[in-house]
Amino acid sequence: DTLIVTHDISKIYRMGTETIHALKSVSIKISKGEYVAFMGPSGSGKSTFMNIIGCLDTPTGGTYILNGNDVSNMTDNELAEVRNKEIGFVFQTFNLLPRQTSLENVALPLIYAGYGKSDREEKAQRALESVGLGTRGKHKPNELSGGQRQRVAIARALINNPSIILADEPTGNLDSKTSYEIMELFEDLHAKGNTIIMVTHEEDIAKYAHRIIRMRDGLIESDTINEDIATAT
Ligand code: ADP
Ligand code: ADP
């Protein structure tokens, strides 16, 4: 069941007279339920590609089919609609609103989706419970540990049942013990059928994924199945 197909994706940034070929030709296929890690040196095009996969930006050339829809040439408004429906974002810096409680942060996407207050609170509470934070709904981000903040962000990413969880360096601000706890949570989400795509610099984190795609100079250098995990599950 194919979720993502990119064909010959390129991205060119123009800065004055300089042109930067951030992506040269990237063709991949990702099925529903896959757990994929993108790796590669700084400047290899990971963020650029994630921005395209996450419908935050469009390619200069090539096509991107998401869930059967060609999203390569959409307007910003169309892209925003697809993004809100299909993608749950998790960031290195959590990106929570500091003055809002965990429950309010998690419920935020539901406001845009048009849910009423009591529905929002009920759904957000269930999402917090699903990441092990059922008793922390009234806490604000600064009253939570880093790992708990990332769990709140993950609950927020999950709240609209997105097709893809897109995580950019999700453990980049966490100590190693907390990082592994977040990876266990991702493993649970993957076991429940969620599709997870993450970017990481850390081999120890990437090895939790079932497929590892390495980028270099705007191209895919390798695309391998993680045999250890694939045979264990
Ligand atoms: P990473 O994803 O590797 O943690 P970034 O995506 O923030 O890092 O940056 C990767 C490279 O892209 C850096 O060399 C940075 O200077 C460059 N870069 C990121 N955004 C821009 C931008 N808006 N304009 C120019 N260069 C950028
Ligand atoms: P990575 O995430 O792997 O570090 P990026 O996708 O951020 O790589 O960057 C790929 C290349 O594109 C780099 O040469 C970077 O400097 C350039 N780049 C990234 N974003 C921009 C931007 N907004 N404007 C101009 N150049 C950019």
pLDDT in tens, 136-150: 999 999 999 999 999
17: CA distance to ligand 2 center in Å? Answer: 16
Question: pLDDT exceeding 70 applies to what percent of the chain?
Answer: 98
* C-alpha to C-alpha distance for 50 and 54, rounded to whole angstroms: 6
90: CA distance to ligand 1 center in Å? Answer: 18
1: CA distance to ligand 2 center in Å? Answer: 31
Query: In a mutational test of the pocket of ligand 2, which residue from 10, 12, 14, 20 has the highest number of ligand atoms less than 8 Å from its CB?
Result: 20
- Whether the pLDDT of residue 169 is over 80: the answer is yes
Q: What would the mean pLDDT of 4-8 be, rounded to a whole number?
A: 98
Q: Alpha-carbon torsion 217, 219, 222, 225, what sign?
A: positive
Reported as a single tens digit per residue, the pLDDT across 53-72 is 999 999 999 999 999 999 99
This model of the complex carries an ipTM of 0.72
Binned at pLDDT 50, 70 and 90, residue 157 comes out as very high
- Can you read off the two tokens belonging to residue 156? 């927020």
pLDDT of residue 227: 78
Closest CA to 125 of 106, 145, 108, 112: 106
- Can you read off the two tokens belonging to residue 191? 């076991």
pLDDT of residue 115: 93
Binned at pLDDT 50, 70 and 90, residue 231 comes out as low
Mean pLDDT across the chain: 94
* C-alpha to C-alpha distance for 142 and 100, rounded to whole angstroms: 10
Binned at pLDDT 50, 70 and 90, residue 41 comes out as very high
Q: What would the mean pLDDT of 146-163 be, rounded to a whole number?
A: 95
Protein residues with CB under 6 Å of any ligand 1 atom: 42-43, 46-47
pLDDT of residue 233: 52
pLDDT of residue 112: 82
How far from chain centre, in Å, is Cα 91? 8
Reported as a single tens digit per residue, the pLDDT across 87-128 is 999 999 999 999 999 999 999 999 888 899 999 999 999 999
* C-alpha to C-alpha distance for 213 and 199, rounded to whole angstroms: 10
73: CA distance to ligand 1 center in Å? Answer: 24
pLDDT of residue 174: 93
Query: φ and ψ at 28, to 5 degrees?
Result: -145, 165
